[in-house]
């Protein structure tokens, strides 16, 4: 499960590497016994998710499994595109696969794959929660306690300054806090 680096062959109109097209091509192949094709794929940040259909040519048996790939680009090197590929049966840590891909997967007996699918479904449901950080309106206030025992209160501030989106601001310290650093056990003071 290491990283593989190649020279990219697919680029967008702006000259950026088309990560999705690169990995779609990687998962689309055929030999004398099997055929693999991507049914649906997408990029979530730098992580690639896909439903890949595997067909055994001699029997016609079909199975659709999830493929997950981490990506990395380095335009300063000839080998400018890095990819780390995994399957759902490996129990990857990346668990933000969209429901549109999960719905295409074949049933499986793999404990790791079923656990991964359940984590993905929980993340999908968590995004729908009205008290999720992303769904709280501008002006909302949340509170949480750090591991040091210090209580922090943050205000969701409208996009301003160098921020293109609303951000979390601590009025007592005058600093902002990235949403990724806010612990899951926060409480909503005002919404």
Say what the pLDDT of residue 11 is. 95
Enter the DSSP assignment of 114: H
Say what the pLDDT of residue 26 is. 95
Backbone φ and ψ for 49, nearest 5 degrees, come out as: -125, 140
C-alpha torsion 83→73→20→12, nearest 10: -160
149-to-23, 102, 107, 173, 183 alpha-carbon distances in Å: 45, 40, 45, 16, 13
Say what the pLDDT of residue 161 is. 79
Boundaries of every domain in the chain: 4-128, 133-190
**pTM over the 0.85 mark:** no
As a whole number of angstroms, the distance between CA 124 and CA 129 comes to 9
Q: What is the mean pLDDT of each run of 10 residues along the chain (191 residues)?
A: 91 95 96 96 96 96 96 93 95 94 96 96 88 88 89 91 88 88 88 75
Say what the pLDDT of residue 148 is. 86
Say what the pLDDT of residue 154 is. 93
Say what the pLDDT of residue 1 is. 60
Q: Scanning the structure block, which residue is given the tokens 């990819």?
A: 83
As a whole number of angstroms, the distance between CA 110 and CA 112 comes to 5
- DSSP H/E element including 128: helix 111-128
116-to-119, 132, 158 alpha-carbon distances in Å: 5, 22, 35
Kindly list the strands in the beta sheet with 29-30, ordered across the sheet, starting from the edge strand earlier in the chain: 4-6, 81-87, 62-73, 47-56, 34-44, 29-30
Cβ atoms < 10 Å from Cβ of 34: 13
Residue pair 50/30 in contact by the 8 Å Cβ criterion: no
Say what the pLDDT of residue 28 is. 96
């Amino acid at each position: 499960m290491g990283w593989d680096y190649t020279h990219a062959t697919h680029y967008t109109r702006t000259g950026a590497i088309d990560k999705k097209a690169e990995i779609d091509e990687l998962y689309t192949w055929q030999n004398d016994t099997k055929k693999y094709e991507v049914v649906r794929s997408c990029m979530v940040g730098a992580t690639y998710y896909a439903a890949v259909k595997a067909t055994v040519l001699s029997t016609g048996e079909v199975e659709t499994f999830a493929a997950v790939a981490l990506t990395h680009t380095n335009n300063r090197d000839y080998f400018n595109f890095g990819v780390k590929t995994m399957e759902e049966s490996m129990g990857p840590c990346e668990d933000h696969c969209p429901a549109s891909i999960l719905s295409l997967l074949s049933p499986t007996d793999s404990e790791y794959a079923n656990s991964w699918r359940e984590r993905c479904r929980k993340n999908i449901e968590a995004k729908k929660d009205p008290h999720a950080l992303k769904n709280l309106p501008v002006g909302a206030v949340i509170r949480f306690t750090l591991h040091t025992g210090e209580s922090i209160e943050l205000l969701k501030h409208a996009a301003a300054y160098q921020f293109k989106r609303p951000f979390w601001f601590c009025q007592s310290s005058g600093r902002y806090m990235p949403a990724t650093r806010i612990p899951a056990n926060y409480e909503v003071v005002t919404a």
